[in-house]
Amino acid sequence: MDRAQQPLDLTGHIEVDEPLSFVGGHGEIRRGLWNNGTQLQTIAMKLLRPPKAGVRNPVRFQKVTISASLAQEPRALNSWMQKLRREIQVWKRLAHENIVPLLGTVIYSGPHNGPPIMGMVSPWMENGNLIHYMENRNPCTTERLQLLSDVAAGLTHLHSKDIIHGDLTGANILINDSGRACLVDFGLSFIKVEFEGSSYWSSTLGGAMRCRAPELFPPLGGDVATFVPDLTSACDIYSFGSVMLHLISGKIPYFNIKQDAYILLELHFGRLPQRPQNTMLSDLHWIFITKCWDSVPASRPSAASVEISIMDFIAQSLLIPATS
């Protein structure tokens, strides 16, 4: 790889804001400052958990799980690091306004010189993720559609590079200082699943299950341990439909079902989420969402087609009075 494409090694150049810490599905996020040569830039440092390698009694360090026997399993750790570096190199090459940029990487040991942790550095997004932004801003229909247009543009770019996000939810869509949506965390779920011994579908237990394509779940009564899902770009389109439903209506998919486990039954029987009664969600919006949810993955629209359709919705919304 060309040296210019290598992410910057920012180890030792980040001033970490120790008291501020968020724990997510892929690791811990800390806020910090980086002197980029022009100014001090506020950054987010995502610290990734090394593989647990089947260890039942991990120790805790700065809220990040560290395997107690990594030194005894160097082969697993080395494989994990190689996979992670490949994903980082892919991210570095993805220059697009609707994809969170990678500024560099760090090896972080914390304030007490604990076990080193691999981290990725990106700009700090003060507006948070899409879910928090919606709760705090309550944007009008046109603004919501513009955010969806941003998401579709980001997906189009990923798919043009033969990259599948695989975990598209409102939590993995960040809002930058200009109020534009940017994708993040693509690829990390695959690393976590591969090296922690869990199945891809089981990693969805929780909110992500409501956005995940049905073909990514094993059939009822099937062998969960050996199930290998067919992950395609169409899976991202299904997730886009779920994000669109949430963004336009304010209701998550299967909002009427409180227990996530029961959603598996709905998926097994091919029952789509109910349509919320919401003035922002038009008939055309709903028809388009259900196209994204087509039971035949190949029949779902492409990301580029989705992007065009959302732009048409934006044009239509400008012709009618805005609703809130």
Mean pLDDT in consecutive groups of 10 residues from the start of the chain, 324 residues:
64 77 70 88 82 41 36 62 76 90 85 71 94 93 96 96 91 95 76 46 61 86 74 95 96 91 86 89 96 97 98 90 52
State the DSSP code for 116: -
Whether the Cβ atoms of residue 34 and residue 44 lie closer than 8 Å to each other: no
If phi > 0 it is left, if psi is from -120 to 50 it is alpha, else beta; for residue 274 that is beta
Residue 81, both tokens:
């690091």
Going from N- to C-terminal start, the domains of the chain cover: 3-123, 130-317
Residue with tokens 């919320």: 276
Q: How far apart are CA 192 and CA 49, in angstroms?
A: 9
C-alpha distances out from residue 243 to 144, 198, 212, Å: 11, 25, 10
**pLDDT value, residue 235:** 95
Quick one: tokens of 142?
A: 């046109």
Q: Give the up-direction half-sphere exposure of residue 260: CA atoms within 13 A in the CB hemisphere.
A: 13
Q: What is the pTM of this model?
A: 0.83
158, 86, 164, 73: which is closest to 118 by C-alpha?
A: 86
pLDDT at 110 (0 to 100): 67
- Decide if 216 contacts 204 (C-beta within 8 A): yes
Under CATH, what is the fold of the domain 130-317?
Transferase(Phosphotransferase); domain 1 (1.10.510)
HSE-up (13 A, CA, CB side) for residue 132: 12
CATH fold, domain 3-123, is Phosphorylase Kinase; domain 1 (3.30.200)
254 contacts 265 by C-beta, under 8 angstroms: no
